[in-house]
Structure 1
Amino acid sequence: MDLDTVRTFVAAADTGQFQEAAAELAVTQQAVSKRIAVLERSLGVRLFTRTPRGAELTIDGQAFLPHARELLRVAERAAASVRTARRPLRVDIIASRGAASGLMRAFHRAHPDTDLDVLMLFDIETALAAIRSGEIDASFRAVAAPGRPLPEDIESVRVLDEPLQLLTGPAHALAGARSVPLAQLAGHRIWMPGIVPGTEWAAYYDDLVAQFGLTIEATGPNFGSDALLDTVADTPALATFMGGHTRLVWPAGHGLRRIPVTDPTPVYPHSLLWHRDNPHPALATLRAHLATTEAGHDAAGTWTPDWVIPH
């Protein structure tokens, strides 16, 4: 059923005059008459009776009117559900405790009137598909790992280089160090059960291991950050890498140490990804906000893999 004919019917019913309905809809009176005739043929009934005073609803017209109003309300709600200016900005932050979460919290504090939905999608292929379908507006990812070039319709900008730190328990051999050179970590067991083959962070750590001769173990089930902290605190032989912007809280008795890594400092490159044709006004606001907070990339004394997009 054509919504223009339904809208014309409701306008004519409300005004009682085809001429007034035409003025309200900014069309000719002849167009109103034609639309009503089309609707009547479609329904197989007469909706109006012409009188000296104008147009009066027939019994069938009276029966159809409330349903016609509901059709227009449903159509408006359907359109509003996908109008970008009327729905929240949807952003994938991967994990709730990571650097991207901190960036979005800062954005929300700076722009509290911007409606925001935060999602956590695991892998980059899922995130890219969601961006391209319009399910989400943006995602934070490290790009572009070997064999995973960005599609041509996806834009990206590097927004944060997050330094890695070494996390140890109090009995670890490096627990008392104020900082540790990256080369000195060769021979130490670094346990990271959250590394999943095929992800962009797996590609990052594969390059780190290959270039600096490190030993990173991803064995065992990943029971989450709390279990990781418990194990590192109780096992002097194990340490782990932790992003400098990762927010974690652990019991005071754990005695964990966060130690800066230097010479060079490995940094994890977070980029914002979005579809080049995305019209959501809050996306432009987010990009502008991130542009004011980002620091310089590829700074002296830092390391990232060769595949990382520089800007």
Structure 2
Amino acid sequence: MELDLGAVRAFVAVAEDRHFGDAAVRLGLSQQAISKRVAKLEAELGTSLFHRTRAGTDLTVDGELFLGYARALLGLADQATGLLLNRRRALRVDVLGTRLSTTELVRKFHEANEDVAIDIVTSNGLRSARTTLPGGQVDAAFARVVGELGEAIEHTLAHLDHMQVIVGRGHRFARRRRIRLAELAGTTAWMPNNGGDSEWADYYREFSREFDVEIDVSGPNFGFEHLLDVVGNSDDRLSFVGEGVRVPWHPDIVRIPLVDPTPVFPHSLLWYRHNRHPALPRLIEHVRRGYVPYDPGRHWLPEPDRPAG
């Protein structure tokens, strides 16, 4: 048997006020509605909870026994709903990596919405988002969308990060203000963090086939700072970063934009369609409002990422 909490609440109000009319006023209901709820509860329990007196209404023996449990039941229900409805739980956003442009997007959102508490989460991208979004571990996530996500996960393009070359000061490209993409044909880019089946590894495989640039994923991957040290101390190594990536200052590293066309990495914002966090629609709107669309005359995207039409 499942008790109707509305009926239990009506019973407690009548028990405390000792009058159906006063209980109805307290709960903002009609006296008839209160009477129906109590009658329903008595029918479910198979006993009478009240009896009429000259002074009003009094509890039966069973009513006295039930009152303490009814109060406890309502207290737990109110505590549980209040925990979710009244507390200001932070909006949990998976930015993939704190050095990426996605973190800057969230920072700008927070500047415009200082009342929204935010928890920043990092992960392994789309592989994590497929489970953490429906599971409620995060409210939103940034990733490049590859393959089907299922009907429960929605997404919108958030940012196209312009790709740049990084080289050491002794590299032949080091004094260039920009590099035409065709000039990279036949070169090798060292990217030890681009192995496996991640969406960014897939992006650079598409890039490699399109522009005849070999991607060397040999490692081990000792982190971004180590990559900068190796590239900075080399006369022939190069690597790629997004324009929005926060690269630590390094005395021997040069960043050079790519042009004609500029490869752009597509970051999308993903969310679970049944997520009810009150700040999530504001984040989605902020991202959509700031998105600068793909320009086929200036940009390059892998075929699957290009807008239809």
TM over 0.5: yes
Counterpart of 2:233, as a letter, is D
- In structure 2, the residue matched to 1:226 is 225
Structure 1 SS opposite 2:193:
coil
Deviation at 1:283, TM superposition (A): 2.5
**Whole-Å separation in 2 of the counterparts to 1:11 and 1:221:** 69
- In structure 1, the residue matched to 2:132 is 130
Structure 1 SS opposite 2:157:
strand
- In structure 1, the residue matched to 2:73 is 71
Q: Quick check: 1:191–1:239 contact (8 Å CA) kept in 2?
A: yes
Deviation at 1:296, TM superposition (A): 2.7
Structure 2 SS opposite 1:207:
helix
Deviation at 1:268, TM superposition (A): 0.5
Distance 1:186 1:134, change over 3 A: same
**Whole-Å separation in 2 of the counterparts to 1:231 and 1:35:** 77
Q: Quick check: 1:80–1:86 contact (8 Å CA) kept in 2?
A: no
Distance 1:257 1:281, change over 3 A: same
- In structure 2, the residue matched to 1:90 is 92
Distance 1:263 1:207, change over 3 A: same
Distance 1:118 1:84, change over 3 A: farther
- In structure 1, the residue matched to 2:288 is 291
Counterpart of 1:90, as a letter, is R
Distance 1:70 1:171, change over 3 A: farther
Map of 1:93-112 to 2, 5 A cutoff? 93-112=95-114
Bigger shift: residues 204-213 or 120-129: 120-129
Unaligned 5+ residue runs, structure 1? none
- In structure 1, the residue matched to 2:237 is 238
Deviation at 1:244, TM superposition (A): 0.4
Structure 2 SS opposite 1:168:
strand
Map of 1:204-223 to 2, 5 A cutoff? 204-223=203-222
Q: Quick check: 2:163–2:257 contact (8 Å CA) kept in 1?
A: yes
Q: Quick check: 1:81–1:87 contact (8 Å CA) kept in 2?
A: no
Structure 2 SS opposite 1:113:
coil
Distance 1:86 1:54, change over 3 A: farther
Bigger shift: residues 88-97 or 18-27: 18-27
Structure 1 SS opposite 2:304:
coil
Aligned counterpart for 1:33 among listed residues 35, 38, 52: 38
Deviation at 1:299, TM superposition (A): 4.4
Map of 1:3-18 to 2, 5 A cutoff? 3-18=5-20
Coordinate RMSD, CA, aligned: 3.0
Deviation at 1:49, TM superposition (A): 6.3
Unaligned 5+ residue runs, structure 2? none
Deviation at 1:98, TM superposition (A): 0.7
- In structure 2, the residue matched to 1:282 is 279
Q: Percent same amino acid among aligned pairs?
A: 37
Distance 1:53 1:121, change over 3 A: farther
Distance 1:303 1:33, change over 3 A: closer
- In structure 2, the residue matched to 1:115 is 117
Deviation at 1:20, TM superposition (A): 2.3
Q: TM-score, normalised by structure 2?
A: 0.84
Counterpart of 1:34, as a letter, is A
Structure 1 SS opposite 2:271:
strand
The superposition leaves residues 113-169 of structure 1 with CA deviations (integer Å, 9 ceiling, x where unpaired) of: 1233332231314313333344433222222x3xx1232343322221110111122
Q: Quick check: 1:5–1:39 contact (8 Å CA) kept in 2?
A: no
Distance 1:176 1:133, change over 3 A: same
Bigger shift: residues 296-305 or 271-280: 271-280
Count the aligned residue pairs.
303
Counterpart of 1:283, as a letter, is L
Aligned counterpart for 1:308 among listed residues 298, 305, 309: 305
Distance 1:175 1:77, change over 3 A: farther
**Whole-Å separation in 1 of the counterparts to 2:186 and 2:138:** 42
Deviation at 1:10, TM superposition (A): 2.5
**Whole-Å separation in 2 of the counterparts to 1:61 and 1:115:** 46
Distance 1:36 1:196, change over 3 A: same
Q: Quick check: 1:142–1:269 contact (8 Å CA) kept in 2?
A: yes
Deviation at 1:310, TM superposition (A): 1.9
Q: Quick check: 1:22–1:32 contact (8 Å CA) kept in 2?
A: no
